[in-house]
Amino acid sequence: MYRLACVHCAATYPADQIVYTCSRCGHLLAVQYELDTIAIDRSRWHRRPLSVWRYRELLPVKREPVTLQEGGTPLYHLKRLGEELGLPHLYAKHEGMNPSGSFKDRGMTVGVSMALELGMSQVACASTGNTSASLSQYAAKAGIPAIVLLPAGKVALGKIAQALMHGAKVISIRGNFDRALEMVHELCISHGIYLLNSVNPFRLEGQKTIGYEVVDQLEGVPDRFVLPVGNAGNISAVHKGLNELRTLGLIDTLPMMTGVQASGSAPIVRAVHEELPEVIPEKNPETVATAIRIGAPVNAEKALVAIRATGGTATSVSDDEILRMQRDLARMEGIGVEPASAASVAGIRRLVEEGQIDRDERIVCVVTGHLLKDPETVIAQCAPPCEIDADISLLLSALSS
Ligand code: F0G
């Protein structure tokens, strides 16, 4: 049993009401379970495959889910990078290994299942790319049409390719993501289309399973959870999920929730450092990490609570630091991620340099999307292949040069 509750004024709404923000005060909603009525049998969880649906007692979906087998992503020990940074317990949760290549699939398996459960026949989102790729894929699986709005010229190639190939109606807006989100929200409300951005509280329910999987994989709670922050949904989701495990008595501490933004797009970092009650939107966000090129994060209110309540922090990293970490992960650890994903680990390098990290901490960085999402940014950083005539002596000389 659950209902929707406003995180600000505590107004509640029945589970089957289609509502994205509190109609009384306009703030965010969250799925609120009657946790004392939910019995969790951990050994039963462990008999199910590591995946989003292992944790179905703590998910809102009652019907057969629309699933492409999301979750169950690897947790890698970053041995070489950790040695360089002096952090022996540094890990990366590689969310690029999901069906569409990003963590968004965890949200979409739940969100699109809920769309069907609520009787909705069309879905939509605004996106910096990954949300649109994921929604297109899950809408295709569900057999319903999807509309996606993208900021023109600012979405990585692989993500557009996915949205197009999976058959979404793809519209490029001459404006940034924040404007596209306002527009799609309005469209959904006026036309009865189901909105699947992270303002939708059901999306975050799926994404919270990142935290559950990490607790299972580490057989305990890490000291710190580090996430790249754009719209601030994912950091909020992981915190909510772990908080539920604590209320249920399944864990007894929470990790320090740590958010990393690109320095050209860092309203959450500013709010944390200046101890502001709410974020001041960044009007013209800019970064090579286009996935997190967001100036007005809709989930800021939840994210600030997550960071402050756990003694976490937020930091920003330059585009150069992001790209350097993208190359380091690729070459030192064999982990291929897109720029936004490298931001989480780049943020840890920054915090270590600033002396803000205890070297004994067990740290999990979420790397959110796959390298192939943004091939253009990869190619721009690497020397092109050396082309030769098909001759063995030319091959040998090319190898020795
Ligand atoms: N990393 C990647 C690869 C992303 O695509 C996003 C968000 C984030 C991190 C940040 O997550 O928004 O929950 O704080 N991408 C969204 C999109 C905005 O449209 O694909 P967040």
* Residue identifier of the C-alpha nearest atom 10 of ligand 1: 230
What count of other Cβ atoms lies within 10 Å of the Cβ of residue 89?
17
Q: Please tell me the predicted confidence (pLDDT) of residue 350.
A: 98
Per-residue pLDDT tens over the stretch 215-257: 999 999 999 999 999 999 999 999 999 999 999 999 999 999 9
Q: Is 272 exposed, middle or buried (0-12, 13-18, 19+ CB in 10 A)?
A: buried
H or E element in which residue 241 lies = helix 233-247
- pLDDT higher than 90, residue 94: yes
Q: How far is the centre of ligand 1, averaged over its atoms, from the C-alpha of 392 (Å)? A: 46
Is the beta carbon of 112 within 6 A of some atom in ligand 1?
no
Residue 163 C-alpha to ligand 1 middle, in angstroms? 16
Do the strands 256-262 and 224-228 form a parallel or antiparallel pair, or are they unpaired?
A: parallel
- For residue 1, the model assigns a pLDDT of 87
Please give the pLDDT value at position 401: 85
Report if pTM > 0.95.
yes
| Strands (E) located in 28-77 | 29-33, 75-77
Is the Cβ–Cβ distance between 345 and 78 less than 8 Å? yes
**pLDDT of the residue at 56:** 97
Q: Which atom of ligand 1 is nearest to the CA of 227?
A: 9
Assess whether the C-beta atom of 377 lies below 6 angstroms from ligand 1. Answer: no
- Ligand 1 atom closest to the Cα of residue 131 is 20
E-strand stretches of 161-265? 169-173, 194-195, 224-228, 256-262
Residue 201 backbone class (left: φ over 0; alpha: ψ -120 to 50; beta: rest):
alpha
C-beta 131 within 6 A of ligand 1: yes
| Alpha-carbon span 325 to 21, nearest angstrom | 37
Mutate to test the pocket of ligand 1, among 105, 125, 128 (most ligand atoms within 8 A of CB): 128
Using alpha carbons only, what angle is made at residue 317 by residues 243 and 181, rounded to the nearest 5 degrees?
65
Domains belonging to the chain, first-starting first, are 1-38 (no CATH), 75-101+203-380 (3.40.50.1100)
Task: Read off the pLDDT of residues 246-288 as tens digits, 9 standing for 90 and up.
Answer: 999 999 999 999 999 999 999 999 999 999 999 999 999 999 9
From the alpha carbon of 125, which atom of ligand 1 is closest?
Answer: 19
What is d(CA 79, CA 82) in angstroms, rounded to the nearest whole number?
5
